[in-house]
Amino acid sequence: MKPNVLFIIDSFEQGGSERQALQLLRQLHSSGEVRVHLACLQDRGSLRAEAEDLGIGEIHEYPLTSFYDLNFAKQIRRFTSYVKENEIDVVHTHCFYTNIFGMTGAYLARVPARITSKGETDGFRTPTQKRAERTSFRLAHRVIANCLVVQHQLIREGLSPKRIIQHYNGLDLDRLKAAAGLSRDEALKRFALPQGRRFITIVANLRNPVKDHPMFLRAAARVRAAVPDAAFVVAGEGELMPSLRELAAALEIGDDVHFIGRCDDVASLLFASHVGVLSSKAEGFANAILEYMAASLPVVATDVGGVREAIVEGKTGHIVPSGDDEAMAARIIQVLKDDENARRMGVRGQAI
């Protein structure tokens, strides 16, 4: 009999952990070796259609309002009933909220194999939240760390090294391949971007301040002053967009920064771009960097999380201190002023 594997994700928004989970679920489903199930805490987001296309059956939602109210107990009871009725053999959670909810329910339901994930470093969670998550790790049989920095942090926080599996994020390379025969002009038209500009692009959600888009915009203003044909793309959706538009206007680069919202065609966007940027204050192993490199873009990123495990300084891109928009701008300008070296960086990055 095939083992029953249940994945739990927070939502179907275009987040790194959600996309990683669906990518792994798709591969397991295609293998035919297991029977996969999927549950979520929030049944919303653009990735919902992709999940439905897999044809794996009903996707159950367990909406939470708190970890400390009667609703949490109600959802745990629903979850444990589902797990027992469907004879789930493996529960795999993929982020902070699903770690706590899923491991609690899986432990109470006595699921034989409980796997959780950690893809964040310090900077994302409060001390109380971190204590709660450590409890969930104690209920798990294995914790997957998505980079060495995260693995070392888990060990410092008291988790046994024997329970940690360090495994880098995977990447769907087909998703990063631009359509055959696509011209740059055609790619620009897809996003209503002007011709005759060189685009510096950041792909990150606009919901979490830890992505530090203000740093990116401050660097953008410096770059624009030094490189007249430079322009900037902010790809992502979230409630921070209005304030970021206001900041761009205040920096007098409102006409040079293009907020394109959610991007379902990352391959075409990166095909039209010249530099990929990460400005985060904290990360685990950033999917955006992998996507930039797969698209043959030189990368300029802040020195956070597992960035140094992905970028070879001076060879595939540049690493700058978090919050230092002057250093970021200098490196972007350096890349833009040496096309041949930028091309070599992109080629090396894709090879890695």
Helices 339-351 and 325-336 pack at an angle, to 10 degrees, of 100
Whether residue 172 lies inside any domain: the answer is no
228 has pLDDT over 90: yes
The residue-averaged pLDDT of 299-326 equals 96
Q: Examine the domain organization and report whether 145 and 25 are in the same domain.
A: yes
Q: What is the predicted pLDDT for the residue at 122?
A: 80
Reported pTM: 0.89
Q: Is 299 helix (H, G, I), strand (E, B) or coil?
A: strand
Which of 166, 192, 226 marks a domain boundary? 166
Are 121 and 241 within one domain?
no
Which range, of 44-48, 252-256, 279-283, averages the lowest pLDDT? 44-48
pLDDT above 90 covers a percentage of the chain that reads 84
Q: Provide the pLDDT for residue 351.
A: 86
CATH of the domain at 61: 3.40.50.2000
Alpha carbon distance 312, 249 (integer Å): 34
Q: What percent of the chain has pLDDT over 70?
A: 100
pLDDT digits (tens, 9 = 90+) for 129-139: 899 999 999 99
Q: Clarify whether residues 161 and 187 are in a common domain.
A: no
Q: State the pLDDT confidence band at 176, using cuts at 50, 70 and 90.
A: confident
Distance of alpha carbon 328 from alpha carbon 310, whole angstroms: 18
296 Rama sector, left if φ>0, alpha if ψ -120 to 50, beta otherwise: left
Q: Is the pLDDT of residue 293 over 90?
A: yes
Surface-to-core class of residue 96, CB atoms within 10 Å of its CB (0-12 exposed, 13-18 middle, 19+ buried): buried
Q: Can you give the residue range of the structural domain that contains 57?
A: 4-166
Please say whether the dihedral angle defined by the alpha carbons of residues 308, 314, 318 and 320, taken in this order, is positive or negative. Answer: positive
Q: Are 230 and 152 in a shared domain?
A: no
pLDDT at position 170, please? 84
232 and 126 in a common domain: no
The answer on 276 and 151 residing in a single domain is: no
Q: What is the pLDDT of residue 125?
A: 85
The pLDDT of residue 5: 97
Residue 17 has pLDDT above 90, yes or no: no
* Mean local confidence (pLDDT), 181-202: 95
- 19 — pLDDT class (breaks 50, 70, 90): confident
**Alpha carbon of residue 63 to chain centroid:** 22
Encode burial over 142-166: b for 16+ CB neighbours within 10 A, e otherwise. Answer: ebbbbbebbbebbeeeebeeeebeb
Write the DSSP assignment of 144-200 as a string of letters: EESSHHHHHHHHHTT--GGGEEE-PPP--GGGGPPPTT--HHHHHHHTTPPSS-EEE
Residue 264 lies in a domain: yes
174 assigned to some structural domain: no
- Amino acid identity, residue 83? V
Q: What is the mean pLDDT of residues 166-186?
A: 87
DSSP-H helix ranges across the chain: 16-31, 48-53, 70-85, 96-108, 127-139, 148-156, 184-190, 213-226, 241-250, 266-271, 287-294, 307-310, 325-336, 339-351
Q: State whether 97 and 9 are in the same domain.
A: yes
Q: Is residue 290 part of a domain?
A: yes
Q: Which helix (H) or strand (E) holds 319?
A: strand 317-320
pLDDT-based confidence at residue 224 (cuts at 50, 70, 90): very high
